[in-house]
Structure 1
Amino acid sequence: METSKNKAEACVLADSFQALGDETKARDLLEAWRWPNGPVCPRCKNAGDKRISKLEAQSTSRKGVRKGVYFCGACRKQFTVTVGTILERSHVPMSKWVMALSLLCSSKKSISANQVHRMIGVTYKTAWFMCHRIRHAMTADPATEPKLTGTVEVDETFVGPRAKPKTPVVALVQRDGLARVKVIASVTQKNLGAALSECVSKEAVVNTDEHPGYKNPLKQWKEHQTVNHSRQEYQRNNQDGSKASTNTAESFFSLLKRAIIGAWHHISREHLARYANEFAFRWNTRHQTDGTRLKGFGQLIENKRLTYRQVSCVC
């Protein structure tokens, strides 16, 4: 039976689709997601200690006031819900942004920019840039994210066309927990060790396959368990009752590769990290409903600007 909580979270996703074509409803949704406790000035972080007022057009005024403009009594500056977010200075209507956010947050195997362009009615170039801005917001900051603990599975794969050198990607997945993804230049002890040091606590038990690049770096960790895939060993029951495997990390890669085959078709090496982090974001919120994930993502769009010059100069 569907609970009242599930119904409420389902309404979040339904509201985002109803906002298509309704700028007022889209703006109200973004404000509710970003400021659940009321407006906060993006410049001085005033949360109401000094009055924040919403500017309204006066009938006697000759100059019109844009909708959704607030005035901060602390820094004496005006702002809107898009200031300091991935939406700042975008000329795309908010209703289309809300639709794009909903699509990327709820699509388990992602969605192509070409499909977004057809569904929300923008050019392919605009849809491509919007998707990259959303993926940029989905990327976790290593400085603030907690390191993986417990049993952590680490595996690597190669992404790219057959005719060209493939790009190695390392997945570090805490069993029944979070995932981190790193795009590396080559599968060497140095690069694998750097990825482990950045993402995994030294108190973790690390599971890998028999790749020799893990042996020396993982001497610094609590325990290193391996499974021998060349001998058809994919899971081993240890004497202490634990299990050694990399099946969870391989499940993560299976989702990523299905998106490459079925949605994206091609990913350039320069942008691969953003695509991989998009999947890490959805993996880390996999136990949430689509509505809860979308609502939570509304608070991640802050302080993550990405300009077209930044994203296009690496193509």
Structure 2
Amino acid sequence: MQLQPKLGLGSYKTAWLLLHKLRRAMVDPDRRPLRGIIEIDETNVPFRRKDEPEGGGQGRSPIGKIFMIGAVEVEVGKYPARCRLQRIVNINRESLHAFIRDNTAVGSLLLTDGNTAYRRLKDRDHQAINLSAEDAPPAHKVLPWVHRLFANFKRWSYGTYHGVRDKHVDIYADEFVFRWNRRRHFQTNVDTILGLGQRIGRMQWLKSYFACVPP
């Protein structure tokens, strides 16, 4: 709705499609994996549905929820550097290890909670912290930056978009990661998007995107 008048576009569908094109250009196909000390955790996000606008499901029930995994590159004594945020199908070893292989560098030190699905990681050092003990500190104290990542994403998605739909959560996550990773380089963001758009090339799925434009 903001892009349409600012760019003088004639229809909402055109503005919606352009915004999705911009989000697609927010992922560098050659981006470097996270390295060093990395906090990793999972969360869930209620998604919007026509019949249940606020989502649903409790605990780890998949009903009305999107499972997501996040990672934050921690710089000791400084603010965190880069992050990754991605939807996962299940919180199991296969899903978690696949995310780690794709997004972290060999030799990194991974900090996680005591979830046993993180065990037996290959080519990475791993420090698991048991948060179930009686004297254990709260999770947001042990893994502060990845929990701040989740909190900011949820606040942003609820505040700006009033919740996200399951079908498009991946591109919203890509936009959030792009903003987070360049939060101190705001003036160069547009140049970065334009450069990535030139490298990625033309889109071949315009018709499918027009077909799924929300009413």
TM over 0.5: yes
In structure 1, stretches of 5+ residues that fail to align are: 1-113, 237-244
1:132 aligns with 2:17: no
Of 29, 46, 56, the match for 1:160: 46
Counterpart in the other structure of 1:291: 187
**Identity, % of aligned positions:** 26
Rg: which structure is higher? Answer: 1
Counterpart in the other structure of 1:271: 168
Between the two proteins, the alignment pairs up a number of residues equal to: 189
User: Counterpart of 1:287 in 2: which secondary structure?
Assistant: coil
User: Counterpart of 2:195 in 1: which secondary structure?
Assistant: coil
Contact kept, 8 Å, 1:227 with 1:234, in 2: the verdict is no
Cα shift at 1:267: 2.0
In structure 2, stretches of 5+ residues that fail to align are: 48-54, 57-62, 75-79
Contact kept, 8 Å, 2:140 with 2:147, in 1: the verdict is no
TM-score normalized with structure 2 length: 0.77
Contact kept, 8 Å, 1:136 with 1:304, in 2: the verdict is no
Q: Give the letter for the 2:71 counterpart.
A: L
1:192 aligns with 2:96: yes
User: Counterpart of 2:174 in 1: which secondary structure?
Assistant: helix
Q: What does 1:1-315 align with in structure 2 at a 5 Å threshold?
A: 114-122=1-9, 123-141=11-29, 144-161=30-47, 162-163=55-56, 164-175=63-74, 176-216=80-120, 218=121, 220-230=122-132, 231-234=136-139, 245-288=142-185, 290-302=186-198, 303-306=200-203, 307-312=205-210
Distance in 2 (alpha carbons) for counterparts of 1:271 and 1:235: 28
1:140-189 deviations in Å (ceiling 9; x for gaps): 32xx2222211011111112243343111111221132222221111110
- The runs of 4+ residues in structure 1 deviating greater than 6 Å are none
Contact kept, 8 Å, 2:25 with 2:194, in 1: the verdict is no
Distance in 1 (alpha carbons) for counterparts of 2:105 and 2:192: 26
User: Counterpart of 1:300 in 2: which secondary structure?
Assistant: helix
Cα shift at 1:308: 2.4
Q: Give the letter for the 2:115 counterpart.
A: H
1:121-144 deviations in Å (ceiling 9; x for gaps): 433222211111100000232xx2
Q: CA RMSD in A?
A: 2.3
Distance in 2 (alpha carbons) for counterparts of 1:276 and 1:181: 6
TM-score normalized with structure 1 length: 0.54
Cα shift at 1:251: 1.6
Contact kept, 8 Å, 1:139 with 1:274, in 2: the verdict is no
**1:287–1:214: structure 2 CA closer, same or farther, 3 Å change rule?**
same
Contact kept, 8 Å, 2:13 with 2:210, in 1: the verdict is no
